[in-house]
Structure 1
């Protein structure tokens, strides 16, 4: 083989070697560039995640409330702030109405109606039970065992003019029962009868008996006088049988 051809063969391996070396270097450069890019992207992503977590932590953990002061410092603050006291009003007891003891039959009761400009004297004189009559108390009331009773009254005017009636007078029993005057006027009822209405002028009086249908087996405790103008009723005790 000629020498020139041998020289060429000797040089050919050197050219291939150079080419392979360049390829390896190119791969190394590309690999290094790829690693650099991946590292930069990872760092950027990690920074973004860290910032997001920091923001969440700040919103989920509000500022702590300052702790209460203790010791001398707390005492100073308490002393500087005036305490507020609340007092409830004391309950006021309402005065209870007083009821006078019952009067004795025959005792007078003097009264006055300031608004009407009148005054007078009222008296329960006597009480009698078991009055006889052609009319029967049991028929009037529809209750067997009822009988008639008579209450003698006297009313006088000392000032002004007013009308006296038997309406304010009732009989009161121990069980709370109240009995009003009878609506009947039999001819044989006790006389003089107390008129249903009598106009009285100063110095004038009316006197008479009012009949009541009452249970024959019991006696009233008191006679009650309670006109509309009176603040409290007045009572007369009825003697026991």
Structure 2
């Protein structure tokens, strides 16, 4: 605990007067008596200081304590992953709904947003096939800037893929009950930077669902797919 000069000055000892008397009476040991009394005065002053500041450390003790205290070790952190460490996208793996895929030549960017089954329940059955219903996919295609004249789009490149690798093409028949807006049936020219979005309806077996929606434009080496949940 620290003993400040101010603490000592607040309690001036009265012993020095007694020391004078002792020196006069015992002149044969003035040095020893003076040293003893000085030690007594120092002890008394220290005790006074302790009462005023019981929790203080002396400057030397504080410095020693600060020096001897162990320094807290800096926390170690694991390096955060960077973009370079991310795995490349597998071109054969189905994408999630809402993810966009650009064709290899950059001519188009396609997106599938949803798949619904059944739809158009009041429409006639698909080709009068027992157990078949209508299913529909919400898709979009945007033309890139690779071809200044634009690209031609239709529902032809779109198919539904099943777990047994069978595929179903879009319906060649339309009914008013089909979901709208509809994606273009026939060829439609799409200028660079323009997009078209709509529903494509398919005749599908009612007792099973497709596993993916596929977009296979001409000359695309790996047709992208979107997983159907």
Structure 1 length-normalised TM = 0.53
* Structure 1 residue 150 corresponds to structure 2 residue 136: yes
TM-aligned CA deviation for residue 112 of structure 1: 4.0
| Structure 1 match to 2:13 | none
| Structure 2 match to 1:225 | 215
Gaps of 5+ in 1: 1-97
Q: Matches of 1:151 and 1:168 in 2, distance apart?
A: 13
* Structure 1 residue 165 corresponds to structure 2 residue 154: yes
Taking the TM superposition and a 5 Å limit, the aligned residue runs for 1:51-66 are none
| Structure 2 match to 1:108 | 100
Partner of residue 171 from structure 2, selected from 154, 166, 182: 182
Higher radius of gyration, 1 or 2? 1
Partner SS for 1:231: coil
Q: Matches of 1:99 and 1:110 in 2, distance apart?
A: 11
Work out whether residues 92 and 222 of structure 2, in 8 Å CA contact, stay in contact via their aligned partners in 1.
Answer: no
* Residues 118-143 of structure 1: CA deviation (Å, up to 9, x unaligned): 612111111000112443234x1x42
* Structure 1 residue 212 corresponds to structure 2 residue 198: no
| Structure 2 match to 1:121 | 109
Work out whether residues 126 and 151 of structure 1, in 8 Å CA contact, stay in contact via their aligned partners in 2.
Answer: yes
Gaps of 5+ in 2: 1-89
| Structure 2 match to 1:194 | 183
Structure (1 or 2) with the greater helix fraction: 1
Alpha-carbon RMSD: 1.6
Structure 2 length-normalised TM = 0.56
Q: Matches of 2:136 and 2:167 in 1, distance apart?
A: 15
* Residues 4-25 of structure 1: CA deviation (Å, up to 9, x unaligned): xxxxxxxxxxxxxxxxxxxxxx
Q: How many residues align?
A: 136
Deviation beyond 4 Å, 4+ runs, structure 1: none
